[in-house]
Amino acid sequence: MLLSAHIDLTLPLEDPILKFLLILIIILAAPLLLNRLKIPYLLGLIIAGAVIGPHGLNLVLRDSSIILSGTAGLLYIMFLSGLEMDMSDFRHNSWRSLVFGLYTFSVPLVLGILAGYYVLGFSIYSSILLAGLFASQTLVAYPIVSKLGIARNKAVTIAVGGTVITDTLALLLLTVIVGMATGNVDDTFWWRLGISVALCIAIIVFLFPIIAHWFFKQCSDNVSQYIFVLVMVFLGAFLAQLAGLEPIIGAFLAGLALNRLIPRTSPLMNRIEFVGNAIFIPFFLIGVGMLIDYRAFFRNWESLEVAAVMIVLITAAKFIAAWLTQKSFRLSRDQRTVIFGLSSAHVAATLAAVMVGYNVILGHTPDGEPIRLLNESVLNGTILMILATCTISTFATQRGAHNIAMHDTPEKEEKRSQDEDHILIPVAHEESADELIGLSAMLKRAGEHNGLYALHAVDNKADDPNVEKRAHKILDAAATAAAAADIYLQELLRYDVNITNAIVSVARERNITDIVMGMHLTAPVVPMLPGIPGIPGPPSPGIGRMAAEVVTQSNLTTFLYRTVQPISTIKRHLIIVPGKAEQEAGFKLWMRRILNLSMNSGARVIVYAPDETLKYMRPRGRKRPANIDFVPFAPWDDLPSLEHDLRDDDCLWFVMSRRERVSYHPAMGRIPSYLEHNFAAYSSVLLYPVQAGDTESRYI
């Protein structure tokens, strides 16, 4: 009794613990219950918000805490849509996004003006502003396509890019119409607006990546990196607001600016998606539901009339825009459905516009009633329209995205079953585990959450009682690094006669396809292993005896990695390929790894190879990633000349060969020396492909 006396259970709830507990229970229960009913959980969260909100059971008020969380969730959705976008595909489809943006802006604009002026009898300014409500849209259903793994589909890229364009135009239209209606538009108005918008975009697009690149190179703390990302999101939103744009535009541009610096397979990306989907986005959806007032259905006939006109015309206009986009670019019906679903919801920009129009008072009636640019019936109709369009958006997006995902699944499963990735990562030190795991995650196919093996080998003659304790500590560090990227890593501790034997034995036992290990340049080495670059005799430095033995005995695709800076901050990967590399047994395998690197890292990949070899490297019959280039290169005898073309934040890759193999070049024996002297300031990878052996058939 004494305890309960301190708890306030009156409605609406005021206790912050109870409010937060109630919302968390809704976030937890909605997906579990609605998945069984085949109802999109996003719609469930919106309905739950309506039920517990001030217009429902009045359990929770839509106070400043809910508004803050909802605003953060909306900005998070826009930021994620920019961050997850395939930039190479976005550049390729930017003109398609522009066309769709113009479709989805102009069609609703025309229908909205006609409906407002001729059907509802509004003034021309009110009709144009109402049409601006029709044109704007919110990516409420974006988490559906992200969860189903089709965020990089062409239809999603077009819809997201078009959303930014149409929202920008709609909100600029709002600014202009309000200014004209209130008589505040003069010659300087256009200059101020144009300069502020251009300055905002320039700061976010050009300055944000420089700041983020510097920060990620200087700071490796996981928490600090995540907080820095949030700072960039809200700073971008604030700059957009200062420029007269909607904050969601700034958040989206911040996502585009940080896109390349946060690889899709990185631990930071996993944290961003996890926190957003668990907390920020559900809070936004519940906050949207709290806006819905069912009593508006019964308030007056005019509100129902306006709501009906808005819902019918908006849905028709967005479908027409999606249909025109489908016909213009020969998309499938499911892609059209996804575009329609993503573009049909109206929340953020629509609410902003209707509230601005409602608060603009043009004069007063003889009775003293204010004459508003948008009257109360439009405000009430907008609330009903939000519920209807969010419902249509979630169901349409769920159906189209599900069909696209199901269509892609058989091909992906067949490809995965034919060539599964099993990457072995020998780890000797805790400090090197993060970077080795990071490179391995970029080399494997995105979306695969297993296939990594971390091995720590121990000499079976060692009598140090602490050796096993240190080994488990190193393996735990590797597992933690992989778990942060949402990848399951299998820890392997092996006692053997030597490290090389342990690596080779585990590779055979576990059906390993690739080995990723650290490179330790050594000076001078014993000439015991002929045929390995850098090994045949002193005084030349080499890759080390252990690495040389692994390359000799395993005949697997092996990556020897020397890290100078975090791999996520690399801007360009330069792949130096010898002539006749296409004739080696593992050519196709390591080329697939390079393509994975280009897609997962977001960095530019430049492949240097002789003309004859390039003919086999350029993808045939399918589109290659836009961030990979192929450049003719032949002078292997003068590799130090590459130094003149190098930039800060480059990573050098050399495709190597064993002696007496078809692609071997004498200059390969000098590459370890070049890395130590000429290219010491750059991260580097020595790539040893499969070259004719017992395992050859596995890689073709």
Residue 296 has pLDDT above 70, yes or no: no
What pLDDT is recorded for position 212? 92
Domain shared by 175 and 227, yes or no? yes
Average pLDDT over residues 654-659: 87
Domain shared by 404 and 438, yes or no? no
Query: Is there a domain that residue 522 lies in?
Result: yes
Domain shared by 391 and 430, yes or no? no
What pLDDT is recorded for position 693? 52
- Cα angle 600, 602, 605 (rounded to 5 degrees) comes to 100
Average pLDDT over residues 618-631: 72
User: Residue 395's domain is classified under what CATH number?
Assistant: 1.20.1530.20
Tokens of 394: 């979630």
Query: Is there a domain that residue 559 lies in?
Result: yes
What pLDDT is recorded for position 643? 84
Structural contact between residues 575 and 655, judged by C-beta atoms closer than 8 angstroms = yes
Domain shared by 465 and 548, yes or no? no
Split at pLDDT 50, 70, 90, the class of 219 is confident
Residues 139-191 pLDDT 10s: 888 888 877 878 778 888 888 888 888 887 887 787 788 777 776 667 777 78
Selection from 123-137, 180-194, 355-369, 512-526 with the highest mean pLDDT: 123-137
- Cα angle 404, 407, 408 (rounded to 5 degrees) comes to 90
Residue where a domain stops, chosen among 454, 479, 512: 512
- Considering only residues 277 and 440, tell me which one the structure prediction assigns the higher pLDDT: 440
Selection from 107-111, 458-462, 477-481 with the highest mean pLDDT: 107-111
Query: Is there a domain that residue 577 lies in?
Result: yes
**Residues 187, 674: Cα–Cα separation, whole Å:** 62
What pLDDT is recorded for position 175? 74
Split at pLDDT 50, 70, 90, the class of 298 is low
Residue 525 has pLDDT above 70, yes or no: no
Q: Whole-structure pTM over 0.85, yes or no?
A: no
445: region left, alpha or beta (phi > 0 left; psi from -120 to 50 alpha): beta
What pLDDT is recorded for position 387? 80
Residue 480 has pLDDT above 70, yes or no: yes
Residues 239-268 pLDDT 10s: 988 887 778 778 888 988 898 888 877 888
Question: DSSP characters for 86-128?
Answer: -HHHHHHTHHHHHHHHHHHHHHHHHHHHHIIIIIS---HHHHH
Determine which of 283-292, 399-408, 544-553, 617-626 has the lowest per-residue pLDDT on average: 617-626
- Considering only residues 415 and 312, tell me which one the structure prediction assigns the higher pLDDT: 312
**Residues 668, 551: Cα–Cα separation, whole Å:** 14
- Considering only residues 1 and 466, tell me which one the structure prediction assigns the higher pLDDT: 466
% pLDDT > 90, the chain: 18
Determine which of 85-94, 431-440, 587-596, 691-700 has the lowest per-residue pLDDT on average: 691-700
Domain shared by 442 and 549, yes or no? no
Domain shared by 368 and 479, yes or no? no
- The bridge status of strand 423-426 relative to strand 452-459 is parallel
**Residues 176, 179: Cα–Cα separation, whole Å:** 5
Average pLDDT over residues 470-493: 87
Which residues lie closer than 8 Å to 186 by C-beta, 6 or more apart?
none
Residue 533 has pLDDT above 80, yes or no: no
Determine which of 324-333, 527-536, 582-591, 684-693 has the lowest per-residue pLDDT on average: 527-536
Tokens of 392: 């249509």
Domain shared by 262 and 377, yes or no? yes
**Residues 74, 283: Cα–Cα separation, whole Å:** 9
Query: Is there a domain that residue 110 lies in?
Result: yes
Average pLDDT over residues 225-252: 87
Structural contact between residues 424 and 514, judged by C-beta atoms closer than 8 angstroms = yes
Residue 537 has pLDDT above 50, yes or no: no
**Residues 408, 410: Cα–Cα separation, whole Å:** 6
Total domains in the fold of the chain: 3
Domain shared by 347 and 487, yes or no? no
Split at pLDDT 50, 70, 90, the class of 322 is very high
Structural contact between residues 396 and 337, judged by C-beta atoms closer than 8 angstroms = yes
**Residues 60, 66: Cα–Cα separation, whole Å:** 9
What pLDDT is recorded for position 297? 60
Selection from 83-97, 297-311, 377-391, 653-667 with the highest mean pLDDT: 653-667
Nearest to 348 by CA among 44, 133, 138: 138
Tokens of 71: 């605003």
Domain shared by 619 and 697, yes or no? yes
Residue where a domain stops, chosen among 457, 491, 512: 512
Average pLDDT over residues 686-697: 68
Q: CB count, 10 Å around CB of 345?
A: 30
What pLDDT is recorded for position 47? 81
What pLDDT is recorded for position 413? 47
Domain shared by 500 and 570, yes or no? no
What pLDDT is recorded for position 318? 93
Nearest to 79 by CA among 235, 267, 286, 243: 235
Rg value, the chain, Cα: 29
**Residues 425, 690: Cα–Cα separation, whole Å:** 17
**H or E element that contains 133:** helix 124-135
Selection from 36-50, 175-189, 432-446, 617-631 with the highest mean pLDDT: 432-446
Domain shared by 253 and 314, yes or no? yes
Domain shared by 486 and 590, yes or no? no
Split at pLDDT 50, 70, 90, the class of 409 is low
Residue 417 has pLDDT above 90, yes or no: no
Selection from 26-40, 472-486, 565-579, 607-621 with the highest mean pLDDT: 565-579
The mean of the pLDDT values for the chain is 81
What pLDDT is recorded for position 27? 87
- Considering only residues 488 and 350, tell me which one the structure prediction assigns the higher pLDDT: 488
Query: Is there a domain that residue 418 lies in?
Result: no
425: β partners: 454
Range of the domain at 541: 513-700
What ranges in 37-63 are assigned the alpha helix state H?
41-52
- The bridge status of strand 683-688 relative to strand 557-562 is antiparallel
Residue where a domain stops, chosen among 453, 484, 512: 512
